[in-house]
Amino acid sequence: MIAVKNNTFHISTRRTSYLFGVDEQGNLLHWYYGARIHEDGLAFRDFARTTTWSVYAPDDEEHAAPLQCTPYEYFASGYGTFYPGSCSIRNEAGHNTSRLLYRSAELVKMAEVSTALPRALNPDEVFKVTLEDPINGLQVVLYYEVFSECDIIVRSAVLKNNGTQTLRLDRAMSLTLHLGEDSFDLIRLCGRWAHERSVIRTPVGQGTLSIGSLNGESSHEVNPFFALARPHTTNMLGEVYGFNLIYSGNWKAEVYCDSYGALHIQEGIHPESFLWTLRPGEMLETPQAVCTYAENGLNTMSGNFHRFIRRHISRGYWKDRKRPLLINSWETTYFDFDEASLVRLAKSAKELGVEMLVLDDGWFSTRNSDHSGLGDWTVNTNKLPGGLGCLSERIHQEGMQFGLWFEPEMVNPDSDLYRAHPEWIIAAQEYPAPLCRNQFVLDFSNPAVVDYIFESMCRILDSARIEYVKWDMNRPLTCLGSTYLDADRQGELAHRYVLGVYELLQRLTKRYPKLLIEGCSGGGGRFDLGMLCYCPQIWCSDNTDPFERLVIQNGTSYAYPVAAMGCHVSASPNHYTKRASSLEMRAAVAMPGSFGYELDLGVLSDEEKQQIRAQIGQYHKTYECIHNGTYYRLSEPGQRDFAAWQFVAEDGCSSLITVVFLKPRRNLPAGRLRLCGLEEQAAYRCGEENVLYGDALMNFGLDLGDPAQIGEVRTYYFEKQNTNKNRKED
Ligand code: GLA
């Protein structure tokens, strides 16, 4: 709900309040974000602090608001604040000062924006606030979109040049927010290729902590999600604020703790690779920033994000549909396959209950290694003499669906496309362009490039029955330069590149509405809300070792639902880590995800095949609970001698708990595991005998019992008993 009273704006969701308003000088200031408070808002909202070293606006005769620490809702650099502005503008005189003042506020049906950036769908309400600098003509429209049931508020800004001179924007963040003088820890998801999204937590002290990506993608190194938690906050208890960005390119988040201990938070497009020219009449839209607050722990924050993503980010045909259980050819055959071997693979997979074969890299052009062929989307007829049409028919005859790998944004120097259009790559022309994985990035800021790739992909997708595409992206953007953009637009390339990627995704999803697209970027280098608007699932990591995946998926679960995570059972020993693990453990770890297999089924023993049949049976039985239920982390990596997580079905009638032992369970403390999300008075049955009550399971906990080996898995599937078995209230 949005209430407007005396120039104070109060946005409330089910359990949170967000208040901001206009002061006597016409500044738009942030008042409060946190647990839901009374409609009338704040009894006291004076943020001014007396100090002898203060800067005041000339019209602030009473010195009510020292500029340097004023909590502006959105402001431009240069007018007296001691931390970077939400935006920063240089006018034709070369000056970098601008002052945004409040103009109007209104409830609107929807944000008046283009479709260039992906956005969250179906907000309950949209609030529009307009600010303006009357001197240089810059107008900023702020949008607040409310998703009450998820306790999510989504913010974005549209910056427009209503003046007569050209303005150069070198910063345009999506979000500025302020928190009071409490202690907070910054939680973020960090790593590198094959080790994405481990949780890092550090206290915030005076100064700036910043995270971000300059890779041209949201990156393996750090994810655009971050949280600010009180020091005592755990998965089950304590206050936390969570943030994310609906964007897939260079991004930055900054947490500035001022000398009074107050926090000033910003997130948006990374200013380092961004210089945007706003000629009179032109505008720039920022990506949407997503904010949530939870009073009772990190699991609640994650739950808010998970619900929001499932309901408002995921869209189209696959939004609520059960995804096909697939076998992927990459770790199965790499580049070494032909039609006969793929049909054999499909047949053996079908016998075990698998539903789709995904043909990964190597099916096109001269692609027998990663040295050639990218950009030339024509079938490699040495491997597939009958073409994809014939292969796909044979796969379908086996009763399987068919999926195909593309890497649309890239080109190998050894390709017909590069030989024909060397000017189509991203490169600062005066320097030799660096290679990465033997490839260059295509300049997607150029509409001719996007058109060309769209048409090449359509030719392939129209030539065969293809139900699924794995969309890969295997190198960062470096040495930025475009032969398409004018010199004064070169600073726009990194953002325009991302807009080009979204444009291609939009055109493809419109033309093939039933196509399931899985995102991927050398594993999980572009695991973000922008891609999730087009790809309901994203390959989590090229590291498929279940011990490592426990850490990667645990971190990913902070911000993203399991349905978004591509997780496969691969061979043992693992091809990347060389570590052996049981088939049981590999399946237990991959099952809370978009599940599949990625190993040579032909070499498995009968016993292993039988195990896989049983796993697939278990997958179908628990699918509903896993994919539409609420997820709880019951332990963090390294905290206990096991990893454990829980799902509670949407209707509350069942709960699935998985425990994977990471140390031999001998001579260790009692292994009790306190569960979450159950009904206190309800009785739950696990197996034939065991009936336990919700309150006991959540307070005393589940007894993990007998000694266990490393890698041993225990799953507990509790079903709520019908009401007469439930305990009566006293
Ligand atoms: C990337 C992906 C892998 C696989 C290879 C193919 O590394 O993450 O899953 O598709 O490319 O080259």
| Residue 182 designated active-site | no
Residue 24 has pLDDT above 90, yes or no: no
Give yes or no for residue 543 CB within 6 A of ligand 1. no
Question: Do residues 656 and 647 touch, judged by C-beta distance below 8 A?
Answer: yes
State in Å: Cα 582 to ligand 1 middle.
24
Q: For residues 42 and 7, what is the distance between their CA atoms, to the nearest angstrom?
A: 13
Q: From residue 327, how far is each of 154, 281, 413, 523 by CA, in Å? A: 37, 52, 31, 16
Question: Do residues 604 and 572 touch, judged by C-beta distance below 8 A?
Answer: no
Give yes or no for residue 523 CB within 6 A of ligand 1. yes
User: Tell me, what's the pLDDT at 260?
Assistant: 83
Q: List, in order, residues 6 or more apart from 176 with CB less than 8 Å away.
A: 30, 72, 73, 74, 75, 86, 264, 265, 266
Q: From residue 716, how far is each of 613, 658, 659, 687 by CA, in Å? A: 19, 7, 9, 8
Q: For residues 453 and 408, what is the distance between their CA atoms, to the nearest angstrom?
A: 7
Q: Which of 464, 730, 520 shows the shortest CA–CA distance to 528?
A: 520
Residue 305 has pLDDT above 80, yes or no: yes
pTM for the whole thing? 0.97
User: Tell me, what's the pLDDT at 725?
Assistant: 60
Q: Residue range 377-383: average pLDDT?
A: 97
State in Å: Cα 178 to ligand 1 middle.
41
Q: For residues 295 and 607, what is the distance between their CA atoms, to the nearest angstrom?
A: 48
The two tokens of residue 70 are 């004023």
Question: Do residues 147 and 45 touch, judged by C-beta distance below 8 A?
Answer: no
The two tokens of residue 123 are 């907000």
Reduce the secondary structure of 369-408 to three states and give it as a string. Answer: CCCECCCCCCECCCCCCCHHHHHHHHHHHCCCEEEEEECC
Give yes or no for residue 267 CB within 6 A of ligand 1. no
Mutate which of 330, 526, 567, 594 to test ligand 1's pocket (most atoms within 8 Å of Cβ)?
330
The conformation of residue 721, written as its DSSP 8-state character, comes to P
Q: How confident is the model at residue 125 (pLDDT cuts 50, 70, 90)?
A: very high
Residue 670 has pLDDT above 70, yes or no: no
Q: How confident is the model at residue 57 (pLDDT cuts 50, 70, 90)?
A: confident
Question: Do residues 678 and 700 touch, judged by C-beta distance below 8 A?
Answer: no
Give yes or no for residue 594 CB within 6 A of ligand 1. no
Q: How confident is the model at residue 705 (pLDDT cuts 50, 70, 90)?
A: confident
Give yes or no for residue 405 CB within 6 A of ligand 1. yes
Question: Do residues 131 and 142 touch, judged by C-beta distance below 8 A?
Answer: yes
Q: Which of 258, 361, 376, 542 is catalytic?
A: 542
pLDDT by residue (tens digit) across 510-554? 999 999 999 999 999 999 999 999 999 999 999 999 999 999 999
Least confident of 289-298, 407-416, 702-711: 702-711
Q: Residue range 182-196: average pLDDT?
A: 97
Q: For residues 569 and 530, what is the distance between their CA atoms, to the nearest angstrom?
A: 27
Q: Residue ranges of the alpha helices (H) in 591-727?
A: 606-628, 694-699
Instruction: Name the residue type at position 554.
Output: N
The vertex-593 CA angle with 628 and 698, nearest 5°, equals 60
Instruction: Name the residue type at position 250.
Output: N
State in Å: Cα 724 to ligand 1 middle.
53
Q: Residue range 284-308: average pLDDT?
A: 98
Q: Look-up: residue for tokens 């569960």? A: 675
Question: Do residues 522 and 193 touch, judged by C-beta distance below 8 A?
Answer: yes
| Residue 730 designated active-site | no
Q: Give the β-pairing of 87-90 and 167-179.
A: antiparallel
Residue 178 has pLDDT above 60, yes or no: yes
pLDDT by residue (tens digit) across 126-138? 999 999 999 999 9
Q: For residues 107 and 122, what is the distance between their CA atoms, to the nearest angstrom?
A: 15
User: Tell me, what's the pLDDT at 669?
Assistant: 67
pLDDT by residue (tens digit) across 476-498? 999 999 999 999 999 999 999 99
Question: Do residues 51 and 66 touch, judged by C-beta distance below 8 A?
Answer: yes
Q: Of all protein residues, whose CA lies closest to atom 2 belonging to ligand 1?
A: 522
Q: Which of 472, 528, 545, 641 is catalytic?
A: 472
Question: Do residues 591 and 569 touch, judged by C-beta distance below 8 A?
Answer: no
For residue 521, the ligand 1 atom closest to its alpha carbon is 8
Q: For residues 478 and 434, what is the distance between their CA atoms, to the nearest angstrom?
A: 8
pLDDT by residue (tens digit) across 454-482? 999 999 999 999 999 999 999 999 999 99
Residue 44 has pLDDT above 60, yes or no: no
Q: Which of 457, 474, 475 shows the shortest CA–CA distance to 466?
A: 457
Q: How confident is the model at residue 25 (pLDDT cuts 50, 70, 90)?
A: confident
Q: Of all protein residues, whose CA lies closest to atom 1 belonging to ligand 1?
A: 522
Question: Do residues 85 and 77 touch, judged by C-beta distance below 8 A?
Answer: yes
Instruction: Name the residue type at position 342.
Output: L
Question: Do residues 717 and 654 touch, judged by C-beta distance below 8 A?
Answer: yes
Q: From residue 426, how far is each of 152, 444, 488, 533, 657 by CA, in Å? A: 37, 9, 16, 25, 48
User: Tell me, what's the pLDDT at 386?
Assistant: 96
Mean residue pLDDT across the chain: 95
How much of the chain, in percent, has pLDDT values that exceed 70?
Answer: 96
Question: Do residues 18 and 11 touch, judged by C-beta distance below 8 A?
Answer: yes
Q: From residue 594, how far is each of 341, 469, 524, 558 by CA, in Å? A: 25, 14, 14, 17
Mutate which of 328, 372, 474, 521 to test ligand 1's pocket (most atoms within 8 Å of Cβ)?
474
User: Tell me, what's the pLDDT at 728?
Assistant: 60
The strand ranges marked E within 13-151 are 16-22, 28-35, 87-90, 101-108, 125-132, 138-147
pLDDT by residue (tens digit) across 582-631? 999 999 999 999 999 999 998 999 999 999 999 999 999 999 999 999 99
Q: Of all protein residues, whose CA lies closest to atom 4 belonging to ligand 1?
A: 330
User: Tell me, what's the pLDDT at 39?
Assistant: 72
Instruction: Name the residue type at position 118.
Output: P
**Phi, psi at residue 506, to the nearest 5°?**
-65, -45
Question: Do residues 502 and 517 touch, judged by C-beta distance below 8 A?
Answer: no
User: Tell me, what's the pLDDT at 387?
Assistant: 97
